[in-house]
Structure 1
Amino acid sequence: MKRRHFAASAALATLAPWLAAPAPARSLMPPPIRTRTGRLMQLSVLDRDSGRELPLHFHEGEYWVAGRPGARYALRVHNLQGERLLAVMSVDGLNVLTGQRASVDQGGYVLDGGERADVAGWRKSDDQIAAFEFTAPGDAYATRTGRPEHLGVIGLALFRERAPLPPPAVASRSEEARAPWAADAARAEAPAASTARQAERSRAPAGPAPQLGTGHGAREHAPVSRTQFTRAQSRPDELIRVRYDSRENLIARGVIPAPRPSRPQAPQPFPASPSEMGYVPDPPPRR
């Protein structure tokens, strides 16, 4: 299936060389916050209510996102290649197109070279989705359908497209039936059983019980069209995994540093800003 979109200085006396203006403050720019991951195709998690991409926190070899209960979100993808790519997408271990237990050999979204798209919900038809929204585990779509084992994980299995096959050589009628290019095309579409079993065996590492899942939200208009795609190989060319949970759980896991406790403000010896510095003014007149 194919989606289309988508410093003022103070005056000082020159007779006193030991008086010096304060040195200009250095600009300490914080390191950039990463919001996207992926080599062939970039993936980010978009908070649809605020319109911003959520920060990715890298911890022990995995990317994590802190979700906000009740917030609608979308999977924002950007094909970085100059060719079509197939993205088989899963949320909470379920295929976002069919709702089935996810496997890398299932269908997905096809993006043209350089195309960007927001996948914002469970596909209900060619014209509608049910919005993704962060929710309590008991209200998650996977839980409500009896499959809560993989809450809190988003997956993309990416596939390159097989180059068009050359036309068959001119042959007699008896030779046309056993032309080797026809057999090659059938094998290219056969799923790799070992890859599917390996994906099914993968399990999330131990940690606090998840506090978030993805709900089956309100219906929205989101039309798509259908297309044909032949994979260059049965194994994914890239596999992207992003986990999500509540901010409290990510702090408990050590993914996000715990906030420092607030302390009373201590008296400061130089509370004035540089722009306020000058000579000592006269006190106000006595009353």
Structure 2
Amino acid sequence: MYRFPVCLLAILALCGFRPAPPLPPPMPVALSLVDRDSGDEATPYLHRGQQWVAGTPGHRYAVRLRNLSGERVLVVLSVDGVNAISGQTAAPDQAGYVLEPWQDSEITGWRKSSAEVAQFVFTDRGDSYASRTGRPADVGVVGIAVFAEARPLPIAAAPAPRPAPLRAQDARAGRAMDAPASAAGAAGRERQQLGTGHGAREASASHATVFERASHAPIQVTQVRYDTRARLARLGIVPGQRRDSTPRAFPGGFVPDPPLRWR
């Protein structure tokens, strides 16, 4: 009766129980893709450490950027390895969209001017803007590199960060240029089916602003890979389809009801 607490303490000590490690800080910017024809935000699927979404050929889409912090950030946007503003091969040290604190913005196309973009549209890989300009290696990936803003040297106490508003502002981001993109990996390049085309022009206002980076290195690099649902199903990334065509003795579960006409 009196030995149980002692034994328990001994077991705890032998097992080496330690406090749980602190959670990593959240990413300042959330990245997602929105199907503009259906109005749905693409569901992300995690597969072998990479995030995937399914796209529908012929549908327009937008890149949604949400600033989850109370500070201004610079987001360099890459689509298929191409700068979404200047059309250069993307790199983190290029210019990007400036998001105000807590801003929620949708980038709907390739920047053609301060007033227009050419729509992002899911299309055949060979018809993608990157492929048509001789850069097919990174087709199928959308990426961002996020930079913090340099702070002026404080004269007195630093101001407190802004509190989050009750609702995120639905405003367009500021002026931008290039962006980074991670390589899509040689294993899947030949099988990639979907890319991002250079669609019809539409109005999308932007303006230049001043932003000084706090460092040369981004504080966040995030990418999302995409392809047709059919290919993602064959790879076993999306649910609802077998990974291969190998015959199985017991492919189903319990006996289903027959069709109504045979009852």
Q: TM-score, normalised by structure 1?
A: 0.65
Q: How do 1:1-287 residues align onto structure 2 when only pairs under 5 Å count?
A: 39-165=27-153, 202-204=183-185, 206-207=187-188, 209-259=191-241, 265-266=256-257
What secondary structure sits across from 1:77 in the alignment? strand
Report SS of the residue matched to 1:98.
Answer: coil
Larger Rg: 1
Counterpart CA distance in 2 for 1:134 and 1:54 is 13
d(CA) in 2 for partners of 1:132 and 1:262? 41
Q: 201-210 or 73-82, which moves further after superposition?
A: 201-210
Aligned alpha-carbon RMSD (Å): 2.4
The one-letter code sitting in structure 2 at the alignment partner of 1:239 is: V
Matched to 1:78, the amino acid is R
Is contact 2:36-2:59 (8 Å) kept? yes
- Flag as ranges the 4+ runs of structure 1 deviating above 3 A: 199-203, 260-268
Residues 44, 202 of structure 1: CA spacing in aligned structure 2 closer, same or farther, 3 A cutoff? closer
Identity of aligned residues (%): 48
Amino acid of the structure 1 residue aligned with 2:193: Q
Corresponding residue number in structure 2 for 1:33 = none
Q: Equivalent residue of 1:142, what SS?
A: helix
SS in 2 for 1:240: strand
1:104 and 1:202 map into 2 onto residues whose CA distance is 13
Question: What do residues 157-181 of structure 1 show as CA deviations (whole Å, max 9, x unaligned)?
Answer: 00000102458xxxxxxxxxxxxxx
Looking at structure 1, the residues matched to 73 and 33 of structure 2 have their Cα atoms a distance apart, in angstroms, of 19
Cα shift readout 1:33-60 (whole Å, capped 9, x = no counterpart): xxxxx72111111000111101001000
Over 3 Å counting, the alpha-carbon distance change for 1:104 and 1:67 in structure 2 is same
Distance 1:57 1:134 in 2: 18
The CA distance in 2 between the partners of 1:46 and 1:216, in whole Å, is: 17
- Equivalenced residues, count: 201
